[in-house]
Chains A and B, each alone.
Chain A
Amino acid sequence: MPRRKGAPEVNAGSMADIAFLLLIFFLVTTTIETDAGLDRMLPPIEPPEEDVIIKQKNIFTVNINRNGQLLVEDNLMDLKNLREAAVSFLENNADGSCNYCKGKKNPESSDNPSKAIISLKNDRETKYSTYITVQNELVGAYNDLRNREAQRLYGRDFTKMEAEYLNPETPSSVRDDLKDKVKRIQDMFPQKLSEAETTTN
């Protein structure tokens, strides 16, 4: 008769599997927080080789003074109306070459979206938060127009399409498809936001 052992030893071979299972679970579920903000391109420091002549009516000037007041096209304006004013400037379509614009075709305003430039100037004493609000409204004006066209053409918002396109987790097949769409909408309303050097007075 075989000798009786004590309690049988617990098999620990599968412990590693359980550990790895947990590890992978945490790896997948933990998200590392990402920063977000307004993306902008600064103008290159070398001046362009040839001087480009831009008609005054194609420039939408926004001036912020040290008290945070706005001077838009030489008129005092409230920040809340800035987005609307920028939208109507961008899609004004004075020369009629933009068939998707819904502007008023005012001959005193921009010719078409690809020529329209927004020029933003600020004082050295301007508060950063005011500047960001103005930037936000101007980017918002572009996004409003782009969203409208994206809704019309593809039935979804441009900002969502762009976010999905830029997200590295999006499968590359989806991204390739989005690339052309995003590019097309961007070309409809190219973002021309010039940040001129600050005035000191």
Chain B
Amino acid sequence: MAKFTKKKDGDLPAVSTASLPDIVFMLLFFFMTVTTMKDSSLLVENTLPNASEIKKLEKKDRVIYIYVGKPTQEYQKVFGTEPRIQLNDKFASVDEVGSYILAERAKKPQELQNVLTTALKVDKNASMGLITDIKQQLREVNALKVNYTTYEGDAFNNLQ
């Protein structure tokens, strides 16, 4: 008889997986937004000095970074302990700064090329000689807007 073909009452319906893509996308987007892209790992010590009269660097796409500092422990055997310049993810000499700026500038869209800022992330124990050389290089390629990146704090803490 037909009545015997009826389903058993205790059988659960399959859980709908239609929303699974949504959950996955949500997670994906979440991680996409909170992750800050670290375009280069630091090869140099980079403890920035403090300053109080600072301005925020808005618009990351208009910034070119230059790192200066003592090579970190693992690189000290090869590169010594004198402060060095890091461009992207490798050490560079002073003469390469100019061409690096020009190359980075060429990568940016046309309308941004005149409003670029060079952020100098310099370790507080570096000496000014190297910075002066970098500044001279920047002047030669006409990258005149610089930002000495610092932490916010009392500037007199630097002197200790």
Chain A residues with CB under 8 Å of chain B are 3, 6-7, 9-10, 12, 15-16, 18-20, 22-23, 26-27, 30, 32-45, 68, 79-80, 122-133, 135-137, 139-140, 143, 159, 162-163, 166-168, 195, 197-198
Does B108 sit within 8 A of A, measured CB to CB?
no
Interface size grouping (class) on chain B:
35 or more
Contacts of B58 in A (CB 8 A): 34, 166-168
CB distance from B25 to the nearest CB of A (A): 7
User: Which secondary structure dominates chain A's binding surface?
Assistant: mixed
Q: What is the total of A-B residue contacts with beta carbons within 8 Å? A: 183
Within 8 Å by CB of B22, from A16, A128, A195, lies A16
Per the bound structure, the CA–CA distance linking A150 and B73 in Å amounts to: 49
Contacts of B125 in A (CB 8 A): 127-129
User: Which secondary structure dominates chain B's binding surface?
Assistant: mixed
Give the 9 A-B residue pairs with the shortest CB-CB distance, closest first.
A124-B129, A15-B19, A129-B158, A129-B124, A37-B149, A19-B22, A136-B155, A126-B128, A136-B51
The reply to whether B53 and A36 contact each other, CB–CB distance below 8 Å, is no
Does B54 sit within 8 A of A, measured CB to CB?
yes
The reply to whether B124 and A127 contact each other, CB–CB distance below 8 Å, is yes
Contacts of B49 in A (CB 8 A): 128-129, 132-133
CB distance from A69 to the nearest CB of B (A): 11
CB distance from B10 to the nearest CB of A (A): 9
Does B107 sit within 8 A of A, measured CB to CB?
no
CB distance from B37 to the nearest CB of A (A): 10
